[in-house]
A = this chain, B = another copy of it.
Amino acid sequence: MHIVIAGAAGFLGNKLARTLLDVGTLIGPSGQPEKITRMTLVDVVAPVGFSDSRVEIIEGDISDPKIVDAIIIPSIDSIFHLAAIVSGHAEVDFDLGMKINFDATRQILDRARALGTQPRMVFTSSVAVFGGDLPAKVPDNMGLMPQSSYGAQKAMCELLVNDYSRRGYIDGRVLRMPTISVRPGVPNKAASSFASGILREPINGQNAVCPVSSDTRLWLMSPRQAVQNLIYGHNVDATQFANSRIVSLPGLSVTVREMVDALESVAGTEVTQRIQWIEDDAVKRIVNSWPGDFEATRAKAMGFTADTDFISVIRAHIQDESAA
């Protein structure tokens, strides 16, 4: 199999690539596990640290038609499209968000359609497609009401991927991801950046700012769990999606206070004292518009899974980081 990962320099794309290289197989066009023989990793900055002979690196912008032509080629069987301008950035730069989050996705879809081979495509969407007056626990059939341009762009892509799949142009799977925590690396422009930063930085001996109140409820998924669900979403039989290729994944519903309590029980008060509580209205406005809990009945019935508790999520983060 030849697979493409767009957004492979991001931590999730990177982790997905490493995991797939380790596992070595995916469900292929035959409907059975097939060997991954070629893996194209594309991002605007070249993904680094891959010495595997199956891997080829393409450094380029997926809004550039030449790059899309170079990656979506007849030999590919599957695409993981994880590239995006994050929420906070897309809110500040509307045109850049439209270009990368929407136009580039459409270009990938059109090129994949032109292949005529109906490649599988896993597309990551977000809880940011929801907003407004929401029930405490969001049901699967909740109406879209994004309160950010990032959410609107993701929702538009959901509709496109679903329609291209319904028409048989591609075999798409849209996974609405919870906020990923604990994300390794450095802070980014996502409004949700703090949801990793308030854990990661204190563990590393650094201070971190929490821009939202401690009773803010978040819908979370660990990096390990996210990679597992991305692979599961790729492999699950298309018929299981029935009327819609869009599925809200299960997650862990916790308040910021519960996250900090979990950190304290793992790492002590010395670590949690490195968190400074300075509210930021721009971040709060976006984050508070996102739902903090979902039913995710459909995803669970399809076999997607969630983390069990946040203490385990923190322990896995510490384990993964010391291994890295």
Residues of A bordering B, CB below 8 Å? 94, 131-133, 140-147, 149, 152, 155-156, 159-160, 162-163, 166-167, 242-244
16 contacts between A and B (CB under 8 A): A132-B242, A140-B143, A141-B143, A141-B145, A142-B143, A144-B144, A145-B243, A146-B159, A146-B162, A152-B159, A152-B162, A152-B163, A155-B159, A156-B159, A156-B160, A159-B159
Instruction: Please state if B167 and A149 are interface contacts (CB–CB under 8 Å).
Output: yes
Q: Closest residue to A132 on the B side, CB-wise?
A: B243
**Bound Cα distance from A143 to B162, whole angstroms:** 14
B contact residues around A159 at 8 Å (CB): 144, 146, 152, 155-156, 159
Main secondary structure of the interface of A (DSSP, over half): loop
**Bound Cα distance from A155 to B157, whole angstroms:** 11
**Bound Cα distance from A142 to B144, whole angstroms:** 8
Task: Tell me which of B145, B167, B244 contacts A94 (CB under 8 A).
Answer: B167
Instruction: Please state if A143 and B146 are interface contacts (CB–CB under 8 Å).
Output: no
**Bound Cα distance from A145 to B159, whole angstroms:** 8
B contact residues around A140 at 8 Å (CB): 143
**Bound Cα distance from A170 to B270, whole angstroms:** 50
**Bound Cα distance from A173 to B243, whole angstroms:** 29
B contact residues around A133 at 8 Å (CB): 141, 243
B contact residues around A166 at 8 Å (CB): 147
Task: Tell me which of B94, B132, B163, B242 contacts A146 (CB under 8 A).
Answer: B163
B contact residues around A155 at 8 Å (CB): 159
In the complex, how many angstroms separate the beta carbon of A191 from the nearest chain B beta carbon? 15
**Bound Cα distance from A46 to B242, whole angstroms:** 43
- Given A144-B144, A152-B162, 18 more A-B residue pairs with CB atoms under 8 Å apart are A94-B167, A131-B243, A132-B243, A132-B244, A133-B141, A133-B243, A141-B145, A144-B159, A145-B243, A145-B244, A146-B159, A146-B163, A147-B166, A149-B163, A152-B160, A156-B159, A156-B160, A159-B159
In the complex, how many angstroms separate the beta carbon of A152 from the nearest chain B beta carbon? 4
B contact residues around A142 at 8 Å (CB): 141, 143
B contact residues around A242 at 8 Å (CB): 132
In the complex, how many angstroms separate the beta carbon of A247 from the nearest chain B beta carbon? 12
In the complex, how many angstroms separate the beta carbon of A105 from the nearest chain B beta carbon? 12
Instruction: Please state if A143 and B145 are interface contacts (CB–CB under 8 Å).
Output: no
**Bound Cα distance from A143 to B163, whole angstroms:** 15
B contact residues around A131 at 8 Å (CB): 243
Decide: A147 near B243, CB < 8 A? Known: A156-B156, A156-B159, A159-B152: yes
**Bound Cα distance from A104 to B131, whole angstroms:** 27
**Bound Cα distance from A142 to B146, whole angstroms:** 14
B contact residues around A132 at 8 Å (CB): 242-244
**Bound Cα distance from A141 to B145, whole angstroms:** 9
In the complex, how many angstroms separate the beta carbon of A179 from the nearest chain B beta carbon? 21
